[in-house]
Every structure is written in structure tokens, then in C-alpha cells.
Amino acid sequence: MQFGTDDKGFYIEYNQCQWVVGNLREEYNRRARDIIALGDNLILGISSGVDSQAALRSFLDQGINIETAFLYMPGYNDNEYNNLKLLESAWKFKSQIIDIDPIKCKEEILYMSKDLSIPPFQILHRKFLSQLPDVNFLQGGDGPFITFVQGEAHFYEGYNTYEMSRKRAGDTLGRTADYILFDKTSEIVVSTVRDDIMTAFINAHELYTKQGIRNVDWWDVFIKPMYYGRYWGKDLMYFPKFSGAENIDYVMQGPEHNYRKDHILVPVDKLLRELQTTGARYYAVR
């Protein structure tokens, strides 16, 4: 995927799929091989959650060892740090630990957040990235966000999504290496969106809405675990998320994340058809 701005506004562009798309784990493994083919000077950001676990396993399961780095905020994500230690012991790897006190750098983070119009937590990740060597940085998968317009399923992307904001923040550091979004390929998008799990969710989505479940929780809480459970089985460790930025007051009460500004909506049927036949450029809703 590429993104940018032209006279029509903000856009994302996906190439045509280059092969017959497989299941999600198959596409993750292929993505890992394609990334390492660019060079092994690479660091994967790892949170100990299943997204970064799946990305890491996609390398390790193919005999590819890569560097990892963990953002440790003592007193705020100790649970995730302890989970990382369990992963290291089980999978025989050792992660770099970047220790940042979010309170000591509060003023710096809030200043940069205002200056760049990017929320504080994504700026914390920018600071994390600034302390790593200038090599390619890999952000684990985040999954698609499917929303509904008059009952029709749409693929949602945007300038201010969390993963896009994090990349934009990192890109301001002037690093020469690339910031790579692991799951932003046509093949992974198609594999995820056309999967039976997603079809089942789309068919039953009104149940979530009528029960008052927030749409921001649809993927993380209900849909995503089914994908990982189906394709990775017990090869991952399914840790619940207890802590992190949610415990940092100025992050949660800081400048509002303008999530919907410059957002893109593509009907799911149209997305699947175009990514498998021609590729396409999609523009933000005006």
C-alpha cells in the first residue's frame, strides 16, 4: 500500500494482487519472505500482543531470525513486559528493551503532539523509534476496520488511523530506513476481508450494534482472536491486554484523535474485486 495527497485529496493505493491469495497465515509467511528479501537490517516492534506475535512467528517459523524491540514504560505496561519475557523463554529470542518514562517526557510529547497534530501515544512511539538504530522498522499487523454505511459493509482507512498516525510520526524523524506496515498489502487485505470469519461477522454485525458493543472493539475483542485461533492455533500466546497507554492520564485525556478526518470508505465487494483484478487508488470522503 502507498498513501499520499494530490489535488483530489488524501488517498491510499493498492496494487493488483500478484498471485492467487491464500489464507492469512500463508500470506503472513509470504510477506515475511518478501520483507527479508529487501535486507536483514530490520527491527520488528513487539508489544507481546498477538498482532506482533504473529508477525514474529512468520519469520521464526521459516528459520529467519530478526531483531525485535519493546517499548517499556515502567509502572504502565509491566504486564506486557512480563508477557514478553514468557515469549522470549518459549521462542528462544531476546528483544531490545527501550525504557521510556512517559511522565518525564510529558512536555516533550505534548509539544510534538500539538506541532504535528498527532495524538500523544503515537508521539511516544516516535520517541521509541528515535532510540533505535536507523534500520528498517517493521510494525506488526493491525487488521482491517470494517464499518457499515446504510447496512453495507465498507473497508475503512484514513490519514488519522492509529497505524497511519504512528507511521506519519515516525516519518518525521528523517530516518533513511523504511517504516514498514506489515499487513498493508493487497494480498493480506484480500485474505483477511474475504475470509469466512469476516463474512460471518458482516452477516451478523447488527447483533454487535444492537447490544451496544463499540465498533472500535469489533476487531480487537471479537473478530481478531478468531483469525489467530483458526490459523495459528496454539502457536501463539493469547495474553489479555491489561495495561499500557490507558494508564497514562495525559495520553488518554490529551488532544483528541481526529480519527475521522480524511477517512476513506470502500464497499467491501468493490475492494475485493478491484484488488484482485486491477489494483486501485481510493480517495478520502469529502
Half-sphere exposure at residue 158, Cβ-oriented, CA atoms within 13 angstroms: 20
> Looking at 108-227, which runs of residues are DSSP E strands?
136-139, 145-149, 152-158, 179-181
Is 90 exceeded by the pLDDT of residue 148? yes
pLDDT of residue 252: 74
User: What is the pTM (predicted TM-score) of this model?
Assistant: 0.95
pLDDT of residue 255: 59
Residue 78, C-alpha cell as written in the block:
509491566
d(CA 56, CA 97): 16
User: Which residues have C-beta within 8 Å of that of residue 174, sequence separation ≥ 6?
Assistant: none
Residue 179 neighbours by CB distance under 10 Å: 18
φ/ψ (deg, to 5) at 128: -55, -50
CB-based contact 120:110 (threshold 8 Å): yes
CB-based contact 158:284 (threshold 8 Å): yes
Tens-digit pLDDT profile for residues 162-207:
889 999 999 999 999 999 999 999 999 999 999 999 999 999 999 9
Range name among 71-75, 86-90, 245-249 with the lowest pLDDT average: 245-249
d(CA 109, CA 106): 5
